[in-house]
Amino acid sequence: MNHVLQAIDLHHHFGPTQDRVAVLCGVNLTVQAGEQIAIVGTSGSGKSTLLHCLGGLEQPTQGTVWLQGCDLRQLSTAELSRARNQQLGFVYQFHHLLAELSALENVALPLMLGGLRRTQAMAQATTMLQHVSLDKRMQHKPPALSGGERQRTALARAMVTRPVCLLADEPTGNLDRQTAARMYDLMRELNRGQGTSLVIVTHDLMLARQMDRCLMLRDGTLHSQ
Ligand SMILES: Nc1ncnc2c1ncn2[C@@H]1O[C@H](COP(=O)(O)OP(=O)(O)OP(=O)(O)O)[C@@H](O)[C@H]1O
Ligand SMILES: [Mg+2]
């Protein structure tokens, strides 16, 4: 098996039957090991919803998500958390860092949740923060970081466990061009160095064209670009 993530006939809707919002209407997607995929689409087309379903953060109304041969629906809550922690990295549309923890502690957290001792987790988190050029900001808490620094911290947190697949939801949404380019360089380094698959939701068409595949989410399904 050389695909890491596979979605089969995903459907998702929100709300009660009478005013149901159908967001995903039969999405099929196979992410191969080491593949880079961009997902584009207008605001409200369901990109975040799709990424949440792929990452096990949202259970689709219908359809199956396979993560390295495991049907996410078959996993208990604890197994699902473990699979997410060990196999996936998630960069949220809004960074979701814990405000009361330092950047270093935020990045070390997934390692500690995975069972690593605090000293080792802190050491690996430090290396990852150096990698995203935040070694001078490690003790800062997120409210004291700039937008770009927060996003780089969020990326370090997603990458620190060396996931097989990184799911990133507009990771450069409100960053300047140069900082955004640096974020993408970091993700591509991870892709080349560790063979991590990338699924990136973006509005940046220049970036999307540089990926192996670009898919547009429109009317609830994915279309090749
Ligand atoms: N929890 C929810 N309850 C009800 N409707 C929701 C919920 N989450 C999302 N939606 C609706 O589902 C649709 C898709 O939302 P989603 O956030 O996936 O879009 P998106 O493509 O990520 O948009 P953006 O580019 O603005 O981030 C929208 O119409 C949104 O209003
Ligand atoms: Mg979104």
Output the tens digit of pLDDT for each of the chain's 225 residues: 588 999 999 999 998 877 888 999 999 999 999 999 999 999 999 999 999 999 999 999 999 999 999 999 999 999 999 999 999 999 988 878 999 999 999 999 999 999 999 999 999 999 999 988 899 999 999 999 998 899 999 999 999 999 999 999 988 877 788 888 888 888 998 899 989 999 999 988 888 888 999 999 999 999 998
Report the alpha-carbon distance of residue 71 to residue 5 in Å, rounded: 10
Interhelix angle 147-159/118-131, rounded to 10 degrees, is 130
**15 touches ligand 1 (CB under 6 Å):** yes
Q: What confidence score (pLDDT) does residue 206 get?
A: 84
**CA-angle at 99, arms to 203 and 97, nearest 5°:** 35
Q: How far is the CA of 92 from the centre of ligand 2 (A)?
A: 9
Q: Which of 19, 21, 172 to mutate to test the pocket of ligand 1 (most atoms within 8 A of CB)?
A: 21
**Closest-CA residue to 190 (of 84, 91, 119):** 91
**16 touches ligand 1 (CB under 6 Å):** no
| Closest approach atom of ligand 1 to CA 203 | 25
**19 touches ligand 1 (CB under 6 Å):** no
Secondary structure of residue 4 in the 3-state scheme: strand
| Closest approach atom of ligand 1 to CA 41 | 21
Q: Residue 77 half-sphere exposure, CB side, CA atoms within 13 Å?
A: 0
Q: Which of 12, 13, 19, 23 to mutate to test the pocket of ligand 1 (most atoms within 8 A of CB)?
A: 23
Report the alpha-carbon distance of residue 145 to residue 104 in Å, rounded: 12
**Closest-CA residue to 54 (of 171, 197, 159, 195):** 197
CA distances from 63 to 8, 21, 171, 201 (A): 6, 17, 27, 21
Split into its structural domains, the chain has a count of 1
Q: What confidence score (pLDDT) does residue 1 get?
A: 57
* Structural domain harbouring 64: 3-224
Whether pTM exceeds 0.75: yes
Q: How far is the CA of 151 from the centre of ligand 1 (A)?
A: 21
DSSP state of 31: E
CA 120 to chain centre: 24
Q: How far is the CA of 50 from the centre of ligand 2 (A)?
A: 9
- Which residue puts its alpha carbon closest to atom 14 of ligand 1? 46
Residue 185, token pair as written in the block: 């360089």
Q: Can you give the CATH number for the domain in which 43 is found? A: 3.40.50.300
Residues 6+ apart with CB under 8 A from 4: 31, 32, 33, 67, 68, 87, 164, 165, 197
Interhelix angle 177-194/147-159, rounded to 10 degrees, is 10
